[in-house]
Amino acid sequence: MAKLVLTNANITIGATDVSSSVASVQIETAVDEVETTAFGPGNGKTRVGGLLDTTLSLSMHNDYSAVEGLVYPLIGSTTSVVVKPNGTAVSSTNPSYTMTVLVTGWSPVNGAVGELNTVDVSWPVSGTVTKAIV
State the first-to-last Cα distance of the chain, in angstroms, to the nearest integer: 20
Our measurement of the distance from residue 57's CA atom to the centroid of its chain's CA atoms, rounded to an integer in Å, reads 5
Domain positions in the chain = 10-30+54-132
Q: Is the dihedral of CA 111, 74, 132, 53 positive or negative?
A: positive
Q: What is the pLDDT of residues 72-83, one digit of tens each?
A: 999 999 999 999
Q: What is the pLDDT of residues 56-115, one digit of tens each?
A: 999 999 999 989 999 999 999 999 999 999 999 999 999 999 999 999 999 999 999 999
Question: pLDDT class for 41, splitting at 50, 70, 90?
Answer: confident
**pTM for the structure as a whole:** 0.91
Q: CB within 8 A of 91, min separation 6: which ones?
A: 133, 134
Measured distance CA(92)–CA(98) in Å, rounded = 15
CB half-sphere exposure, 50, CA atoms < 13 A: 9
| Mean pLDDT, residues 10-24 | 97
pLDDT in the model for residue 40:
86
Please give the share of the chain, as a percent, with pLDDT higher than 90.
Answer: 93
